Amino acid sequence: MPQRVALAVALMDRLEERQALDQVLDAARRGLSAALVVRGEPGVGKTSLLGYAADSAAGFRVVHVAGVESELELGFAGLHRLLVSFPSTLAGLPLRQREALGSAFGLIEGMAADRFAVGLAALSLLADAAATAPLLCVVDDAQWLDQESLRSSPWWDGGCTPSGSRWYSARVMPLTAGVAGGIPDIRAGGLPESDALELLRSSVGGPLDPSWPGGS
């Protein structure tokens, strides 16, 4: 099945969640504060909802990051994968921010990275990227992002980082599935049985066992 068709079927009963995503996208287009966390049990369709938002983000620049379990203990690994999309603007950062980011990413030797300065550097890079169009930052499986990246990124509002209002005023819209702090969220539940069966039929490509409930 083509990916677009599969996505449409997976989201067939997601009107409330899609409306919430559409609302924050529209707010960001108007230059207003916008951020959202999609929560729910594993396998419930959070990734499909993130895909819907990315597909609906006309007029946005979209960047994607996915948390990786093997990098959970590697400080700033997730942030590095986010910011690697913007290497050309690194040289334009203020010296303290450039050094903090270089230290965090192992590019220079020196004292431990100042997390607030790293957060400011990330804000500066993303704000510059959003200068001509709002920037949608999508992260999936945020539970596997290292804590240093979470607390120095647009997916966290609190701690020793730039406040969420700074991210939003820079036209940077954080959208994540999983763990994040201090920003609004929605919860995705399971599909109704009839819709779940339709999704299953579209995936298996053949008849279901009639002895299974609803399988005929």
Q: Does a structural domain hold residue 43?
A: yes
- The residues, ordered by sequence, that sit 6+ positions from 106 with a Cβ below 8 Å of its Cβ are none
| pLDDT tens for each residue of the chain, 216 residues long | 334 434 444 455 677 888 888 988 888 888 776 777 888 787 778 888 889 989 999 989 898 888 889 998 998 998 888 888 777 677 788 898 888 888 998 888 877 788 888 888 888 888 888 888 888 888 888 888 888 888 777 655 443 344 455 555 667 777 877 665 566 777 776 655 555 556 556 666 666 565 555 554
Q: Does a structural domain hold residue 172?
A: yes
Q: Does a structural domain hold residue 122?
A: no
Give the phi and the psi of residue 87 in degrees, each rounded to 5: -70, -30
Q: Which residues form the domain of 177?
A: 3-75+132-203
Contact 23, 35 (CB under 8 A): no
Q: Does a structural domain hold residue 89?
A: no
- The residues, ordered by sequence, that sit 6+ positions from 154 with a Cβ below 8 Å of its Cβ are 35, 122, 123, 126, 137, 164, 167, 172, 173, 174
CATH number of the CATH domain containing 8:
3.40.50
Contact 62, 136 (CB under 8 A): yes
Q: Does a structural domain hold residue 118?
A: no
* pTM summary value: 0.74
Q: Does a structural domain hold residue 101?
A: no
Q: Does a structural domain hold residue 84?
A: no
Contact 10, 45 (CB under 8 A): yes
